Amino acid sequence: MYTIIDVETTGKTNRITEISIFKYDGTNVIDEFTSLVNPMDYIPRQITALTGIDNQMVADAPLFEEICADILAITEGAIFVAHNVNFDYNVISGEFKRLGIDFHRKKLCTIRLSRKLFPGFKSYSLGKLCVSMNVNIVDRHRARGDAEATVIIFQKLLAHKNAPEVFETFLKANSKESVLPAHLPKPVFEALPNAPGIYYFKNKKRTIIYVGKAKDIKKRVLSHFHDKKQKELDLCRETADIDFELSGSELIALLMEDAAIKHHFPKYNTASKRVSKTFAIFSYYDRSGIRHLAFNASKGAPTPTIVLFSLQQCRSFLEQICEKFALCPKYCHLQENVSSCSHFSIKNCKGVCSNEENIEAYNSRVEKAITYISESTKDVLLKEKGREPNEDSFVLVKNNRYLGYGFIDRQETINSHHDLEHYLIPQQDNMDIQKILKRRLFAL
């Protein structure tokens, strides 16, 4: 027994505005339930333009809780069938979840079944599939019209000579067919490795819409398909292909992920999209011969002493240096437009700003501070696992700046950091990268 179902929703919030269910015994439609639903939410104008369902139409319609018993009854003991089944199933189970009711049914997707039994069509969207299969669709984007067209498609699928074998495979408990996104070919998923790296979700146009990293790519990708959050549901609806790159280690994967997100700006990545500005602390002499420590955007900073990733970081760093070397807040640009310093926390200035200290003595301490900063910015080489058993990976940091990562055969002879530069894949440094590296260095 099958129930062939379609829902219309409010769009972004995915509250049901209309539902249609046809109960099908494999030969005939034996029952039907169709109803508008008051979503208790606003229907946006663009959704009304698509479906024709507006807020006035659903104002007097029953709430989902008023029809949930009918839905449970008609779907009881039947296989849940829909075009892009995960969308309709998750929307309905989400409505039941709000009522504290668990909704579980076996699922079949007419998109995935059509791809398997009728390969070669340019598109498997409902409208275009109906054209390819000579199915007349009435009231497109209304629940009953779409569900009725899906019934006819399902009849054609059942009539295919390979249907028994394919249906049995799709309904197996351990089958991925009911979990995978409707437009994602199963071989693409099966080709994913159980290894560290990054992965790219792509839409039908092969545009990258999401980048992720994982210790186990295949396992992590599968978790997206089980996630019921709205963002994940929307992502899976658009996913038609998945590509990947191996990293060898989780650290390299994190670095690769950050670079890929900032390069591609994928639609569904919210974190790490922004390209961080860099700021530099530098020194210069004024007309009186006093040596200043100042900070500015890196592009406008000559010969930076250290590069940081926010103005607040620069101020905080200079406050520590100021206090450690008894420097003047005024000449470290922590206070502007003052005749002499009066910083709220730094009180150990020796008076160069009020002519109480010799300029040469003050400049000497500034020089010591600059030397201290330079010496405290370490060169770091992090060795990681490679992508293959005979390979290592590495991360290179010089003068506290991330230069990139690379992969090298274990048989290669490396005597210095300079030898590694031939294998280095250069990368941009930024605040997100610094956070990743600091977490790794702290763990050491």
pLDDT of residue 272: 63
DSSP letter at 121?
-
Of the candidates 76, 82, 74, 79, which has an alpha carbon nearest to the alpha carbon of residue 1? 79
Strands (E), 54-186: 79-82, 107-109
pLDDT of residue 285: 96
* Type of residue numbered 279: F
14-25 confidence digits (pLDDT tens) = 999 999 999 999
pLDDT of residue 377: 63
Between helix 217-226 and helix 230-238 the angle, nearest 10°, is 110
Between helix 230-238 and helix 85-98 the angle, nearest 10°, is 170
By CB atoms closer than 10 A (0-12, 13-18, 19+), residue 357 is middle
DSSP letter at 290?
P
> Mean pLDDT over all residues of the chain?
91
Query: Would you say residue 99 has pLDDT above 60?
Result: yes
pLDDT of residue 145: 95
pLDDT tier at 275 (50, 70, 90 boundaries)? low
In the chain the domains, ranked by start, together with CATH numbers, are: 2-171 (3.30.420.10), 186-264 (3.40.1440.10), 279-376 (no CATH), 380-443 (no CATH)
pLDDT tier at 376 (50, 70, 90 boundaries)? low
Query: Would you say residue 98 has pLDDT above 60?
Result: yes
The Cβ of residue 406 has, within 10 Å, a number of other Cβ atoms equal to 19
Strands (E), 13-117: 16-24, 29-36, 79-82, 107-109
Query: Would you say residue 50 has pLDDT above 70?
Result: yes
pLDDT of residue 43: 95
320's tokens: 């520590």
What residues have CB less than 8 Å from 134, skipping those under 6 apart? none
Query: Would you say residue 441 has pLDDT above 70?
Result: no
pLDDT tier at 173 (50, 70, 90 boundaries)? low
304-314 confidence digits (pLDDT tens) = 888 887 888 88
pLDDT of residue 274: 62
pLDDT tier at 443 (50, 70, 90 boundaries)? low
By CB atoms closer than 10 A (0-12, 13-18, 19+), residue 161 is exposed
230-265 confidence digits (pLDDT tens) = 888 889 989 999 999 999 999 999 999 999 999 999
Q: Which residues pair with 108 in a beta bridge?
A: 81
Q: Which residues pair with 34 in a beta bridge?
A: 20
3-state secondary structure of 187: helix
Q: pLDDT above 90 covers what percent of the chain?
A: 70
pLDDT tier at 45 (50, 70, 90 boundaries)? very high
69-83 confidence digits (pLDDT tens) = 999 999 999 999 999
Rounded to the nearest angstrom, the gap between the alpha carbon of residue 437 and the centroid of all alpha carbons in its chain is: 20
391-415 confidence digits (pLDDT tens) = 999 999 887 788 999 999 988 877 7
pLDDT of residue 67: 96
Query: Which residue is associated with the tokens 């103005």?
Result: 311
197 versus 172: which is more confidently predicted?
197
Between helix 64-75 and helix 85-98 the angle, nearest 10°, is 120
